[in-house]
């Protein structure tokens, strides 16, 4: 019983360590006072002023677009890379390929950002593309390092996948492409959704790499927040962060419901297949 009590206290301490700062941020987003840490009464005026702040709204919209595009591209490329690592066996160059895919996981962000900046400058001088730094270069840079996380997630799911299902489908005459879209893709769908959400979050949170590859007029929200912290945190940032957390939490909740429903449907299909056999 004593061990259970200590475990419960450790669990509550962990929850408090993770979520009390977030709760404080939400609490002070309704603060009347301009001083962020001095409570001056309940008010929603910072949310109203936020809607008039074109700089913050523009930066938030740019960050959401970049995060959505880079997460989608990372899922496509990461899924292909995960399939190659999990299903193609020991082909020539596999070790080098795996190392190149996972290198962004351990590469310092400063080095990643600097190397991508040099690449974009060299490409612009050689072929004229990209024309300056902006949303395109930020999206490419974010895709570069978020793809590695997606590839690891997809590879882990494919390694634990029962290949007898795909072999049975091919024995019945299904082509490899049909097996992938009808059998493999639905099974690894939860991993794909998880990879997309992780890539979206990493892109939305990045400030170091974006600082290297962004240009005038393409400032992301983390860059705006980071630069404004030097002059004091505005209560509008608390309001904006609260709204973004609500959006992200809603998306994660909906994705969890969809994945739980798919998992229940998959178990029902497996039980029906066993009973039918």
pLDDT in tens, 46-93: 899 888 888 888 998 999 999 999 999 999 999 999 999 988 878 788
Q: Where are the beta strands (DSSP E) in the chain?
A: none
Q: What is the pLDDT, as a whole number, of residue 150?
A: 94
Distance CA(251)–CA(138), nearest Å, equals 23
Asked if residue 119 has pLDDT above 80, the reply is yes
User: pLDDT tens-digit profile of 13-29?
Assistant: 888 988 898 898 888 88
Q: What is the pLDDT, as a whole number, of residue 148?
A: 93
pLDDT band with cut points at 50, 70 and 90 for residue 276: low
Please name each of the domains of the chain with its CATH number: 31-241 (1.10.3720.10)
Q: Mean pLDDT across the stretch 121-131?
A: 89
Q: Mean pLDDT across the stretch 89-112?
A: 87
DSSP state of 135: H
Q: What is the pLDDT, as a whole number, of residue 50?
A: 87
Q: What is the pLDDT, as a whole number, of residue 63?
A: 92
Asked if residue 250 has pLDDT above 60, the reply is yes
Distance CA(119)–CA(218), nearest Å, equals 19
Which of 69, 213, 210, 217 has the alpha carbon at shortest distance from 130? 213
Q: Mean pLDDT across the stretch 188-205?
A: 90
Measure Cα distances from 136 to 73, 76, 96, 216 in Å.
12, 17, 28, 13
pLDDT top residue among 151 and 260? 151
Q: What is the pLDDT, as a whole number, of residue 137?
A: 94
pLDDT band with cut points at 50, 70 and 90 for residue 121: very high
> What's the mean per-residue pLDDT of the chain?
87
Q: What is the pLDDT, as a whole number, of residue 139?
A: 95
pLDDT band with cut points at 50, 70 and 90 for residue 1: low
Q: What is the pLDDT, as a whole number, of residue 31?
A: 87
The size of the chain, in residues, is 277
Asked if residue 277 has pLDDT above 80, the reply is no
Tokens of 216: 């005038």
Asked if residue 141 has pLDDT above 90, the reply is yes
pLDDT band with cut points at 50, 70 and 90 for residue 111: very high
Which of 197, 182, 114, 212 has the alpha carbon at shortest distance from 150? 197
What is this structure's pTM? 0.84
Distance CA(219)–CA(234), nearest Å, equals 18
pLDDT band with cut points at 50, 70 and 90 for residue 273: low
User: pLDDT tens-digit profile of 143-186?
Assistant: 999 999 999 999 998 988 888 888 888 888 888 889 888 888 88
Q: What is the pLDDT, as a whole number, of residue 195?
A: 92
Could you write out the DSSP letters of every residue in 181-223?
A: IIIIHHHHHHHHHHHHHHHHHHHHH--HHHHHH--TT---HHH
Distance CA(266)–CA(190), nearest Å, equals 12
Tokens of 52: 């008039």
């Amino acid at each position: 019983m004593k061990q259970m009590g200590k475990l419960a206290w450790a669990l509550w301490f962990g929850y408090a360590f993770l979520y009390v700062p977030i709760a404080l941020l939400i609490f002070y987003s309704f603060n009347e006072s301009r001083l962020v840490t001095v409570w001056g009464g309940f008010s929603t005026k910072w949310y109203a002023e936020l809607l008039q702040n074109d700089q913050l709204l523009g930066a938030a919209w740019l960050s959401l677009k970049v995060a959505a595009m880079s997460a989608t591209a990372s899922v496509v490329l990461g899924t292909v890379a995960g399939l190659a690592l999990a299903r193609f066996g020991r082909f020539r160059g596999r070790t080098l390929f795996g190392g190149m895919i996972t290198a962004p996981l351990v590469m310092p962000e400063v080095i990643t950002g600097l190397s991508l900046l040099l690449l974009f400058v060299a490409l612009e001088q050689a072929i004229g593309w990209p024309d300056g730094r902006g949303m395109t270069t930020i999206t490419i840079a974010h895709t570069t390092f978020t793809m590695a996380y997606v590839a690891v997630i997809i590879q882990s799911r494919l390694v634990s996948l029962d290949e007898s299902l795909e072999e049975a489908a091919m024995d019945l005459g299904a082509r490899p492409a049909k097996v992938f879209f009808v059998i493999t893709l639905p099974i690894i769908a939860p991993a794909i959704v998880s990879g997309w959400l992780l890539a979206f979050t990493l892109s939305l949170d990045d400030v170091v790499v974006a600082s290297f590859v962004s240009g005038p007029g393409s400032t992301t929200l983390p860059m705006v927040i980071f630069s404004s912290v030097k002059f004091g945190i505005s209560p509008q940032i608390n309001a904006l962060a609260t709204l973004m957390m609500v959006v992200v939490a809603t998306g994660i909740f909906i994705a969890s419901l969809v994945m739980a429903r798919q998992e229940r449907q998959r178990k029902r299909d497996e039980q029906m297949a066993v009973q039918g056999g």
